[in-house]
Amino acid sequence: MTNNANGSRLDPWVQAYASRATSMRASEIRALFAVASRPEVVSLAGGMPFVEALDVEMFRGVVNSVLTKDSKTALQYGAGQGHVSLRESVLEVMRPTGMTAHPDDIVITAGSQMAIDLIVRVMCNPGDVILVESPSYVGALGVFRAYEADIRHVAMDEDGLNPTAMREMIAKVKAEGKQVKLLYTIPSFHNPAGITQPQQRRSEIVAIAEQENVLIIEDDPYALLSFDGVIHRPMAANEKERVVYCGSFSKIISAGLRIGWAVAPHALREKLVLANEAATLCPSNFTQMIVDEYLRTQDWLAQVATFRDIYKLRRDTLLSALDDHMPAGVKWTVPTGGFYSWLTLPPGFDATAMLPRAVTHLVAYVPGTGFFADGQGRSNLRLSFCYPPPERIVEGVKRLANVMSEEAELLKTFGVGGN
């Protein structure tokens, strides 16, 4: 330990951090997990898939079968681009969305999180501008920060990323003498906003990206978890050279397997493979082969339907509980798929300051500020309906409504919310 200029004690390694580490910080979600995972707390915070809906015995059989058929490959290092048989299977998984590709266009990664990391690693220098939605996925913001990107939020409306706001932001960035390098977007069942871009909106966004020579990262891990039967066609299905598509098995099989993928334009794909090798040598052969065996031998679409029905019931439960219990002035989005609804609180409420009180009332959520790189989001919060059973969701919303009533009283009395 040494003393810094103010005389306080500092671990010398803190001063030795690389500049990129200074912008790395624990997400508000992570800080919450410790408290929110206590059984008495209803957690509407983390976006954990409901893995209890998987048949563990069936899965044991799949794992056994991988080890019986080819343990030598499963337990060995593999290719940096991923297992070729799985890359073929990925085509089947994307088929319902209308997305086509060649297996050579696909890079298998340790979850789609790693795909996002590799894309930014290959494409961005420190200070490069990345456009993101307002709000945006906390895990992607973490990647952009880690590579010291200049993150700019673009407003959303009820159809998602707003094209006029996108044009305005690009103009503003140009006026500063910079170029926009990337747009990161989640067009379907947005995390955390719970919004889906209609096709027309997607085309408008791609057209702007074309004009301005911006590469789009299209993050689509919830693609198949649609509640109204509509599977949305990705931007990448029409625009393979403009868009890098990221997919994931986390929400449709298991997050613990850590398998995702990117479909990338040729020149980018080659670098992604090299970056993948530099980062992890290769994605896990064992879990890739488990996913592939599962997709080839089990009725995976029936399992997706099971997940979808569970999440739809939970979405319905959340929405009617919000209708029944939320005080006037609170607004929320109505997701047509995925895991999340985004709440906007009335003026004066501060979701970040209110969180400790909520945890005392045994309910947890993620404050909106976690989904912005620029301090916005204090009047917002994200509710996840994926994990708690329906009766717990209702209980959680009732508790949240009580917290908000107390907060409203404090606001009336003192003009500020309590914390």
Among 112, 276, 285, 287, binds ligand PMP (CB under 6 A): 112
> How far is residue 15's CA from residue 17's CA, in Å, rounded to a whole number?
6
Does the footprint of ligand PMP cover residue 250 (CB under 6 A)?
A: yes
H-helix or E-strand spanning residue 161: strand 160-161
**Binding segment toward ligand PMP, per CB under 6 A, in 6-14, 86-94, 248-256, 308-316:** 248-256
CB of 252 to ligand PMP, least distance (A): 10
Nearer to ligand PMP, 192 or 417 (CB): 192
CB of 187 to ligand PMP, least distance (A): 11
Does the footprint of ligand PMP cover residue 332 (CB under 6 A)?
A: no
Find residue 218's DSSP bridge partners: 185, 245
Does the footprint of ligand PMP cover residue 379 (CB under 6 A)?
A: no
Find residue 245's DSSP bridge partners: 218, 263
**Measured at CB, which residue is nearest to ligand PMP?**
111
Does the footprint of ligand PMP cover residue 139 (CB under 6 A)?
A: yes
Residue that the structure tokens 């094209």 belong to: 163
Q: Phi, psi at residue 413, to the nearest 5°? A: -75, -45
Does the footprint of ligand PMP cover residue 137 (CB under 6 A)?
A: yes
CB of 270 to ligand PMP, least distance (A): 22
Does the footprint of ligand PMP cover residue 113 (CB under 6 A)?
A: yes
Does the footprint of ligand PMP cover residue 47 (CB under 6 A)?
A: yes
Question: How many other C-beta atoms lie within 10 A of the C-beta of residue 103?
Answer: 15
CB of 186 to ligand PMP, least distance (A): 5
Q: Give the total of residues touching ligand PMP (CB under 6 A).
A: 14
Does the footprint of ligand PMP cover residue 368 (CB under 6 A)?
A: no
- The two tokens of residue 125 are 């220098």
Nearer to ligand PMP, 81 or 248 (CB): 248
Nearer to ligand PMP, 115 or 123 (CB): 115
Among 191, 276, 284, 369, binds ligand PMP (CB under 6 A): 191
Burial class (CB in 10 A: 0-12, 13-18, 19+), 229: exposed
**Binding segment toward ligand PMP, per CB under 6 A, in 36-44, 110-118, 324-332, 387-395:** 110-118
Does the footprint of ligand PMP cover residue 255 (CB under 6 A)?
A: yes
**Binding segment toward ligand PMP, per CB under 6 A, in 111-119, 171-179, 273-281, 392-400:** 111-119
Nearer to ligand PMP, 84 or 255 (CB): 255
CB of 110 to ligand PMP, least distance (A): 7
Which regions of 268-390 does DSSP assign to beta strands (E)?
Answer: 331-332, 340-344, 363-364, 366-367, 380-384
Query: Which H, E and C letters describe 58-115, residue by residue?
Result: HHHHHHHHHHHHHHHHHCCCCCCCCCHHHHHHHHHHHHHHCCCCCHHHEEEECHHHHH
Please state, in angstroms and as integers, the Cα–Cα distance from residue 207 to each residue in 78, 156, 204, 211, 237, following that order: 39, 17, 5, 6, 14
| Helices 56-74 and 285-297, axial angle in degrees (round to 10) | 130
Q: Which amino acid is residue 108, in one-letter code?
A: I
Among 82, 160, 260, 335, binds ligand PMP (CB under 6 A): 260
Does the footprint of ligand PMP cover residue 111 (CB under 6 A)?
A: yes
Query: For the chain, what is the total number of helices (H) and then of strands (E)?
Result: 14, 17
Nearer to ligand PMP, 139 or 265 (CB): 139
Please state, in angstroms and as integers, the Cα–Cα distance from residue 349 to each residue in 29, 175, 192, 227, 354, following that order: 20, 35, 19, 31, 8
CB of 173 to ligand PMP, least distance (A): 24
Does the footprint of ligand PMP cover residue 186 (CB under 6 A)?
A: yes
Among 117, 219, 350, 407, binds ligand PMP (CB under 6 A): 219
Q: Phi, psi at residue 230, to the nearest 5°? A: -95, 115
Radius of gyration of the chain from Cα atoms?
22
Instruction: Summarize as ranges the residues that interact with ligand PMP (CB under 6 A).
Output: 47, 111-113, 137, 139, 186, 191, 219, 221, 248, 250, 255, 260
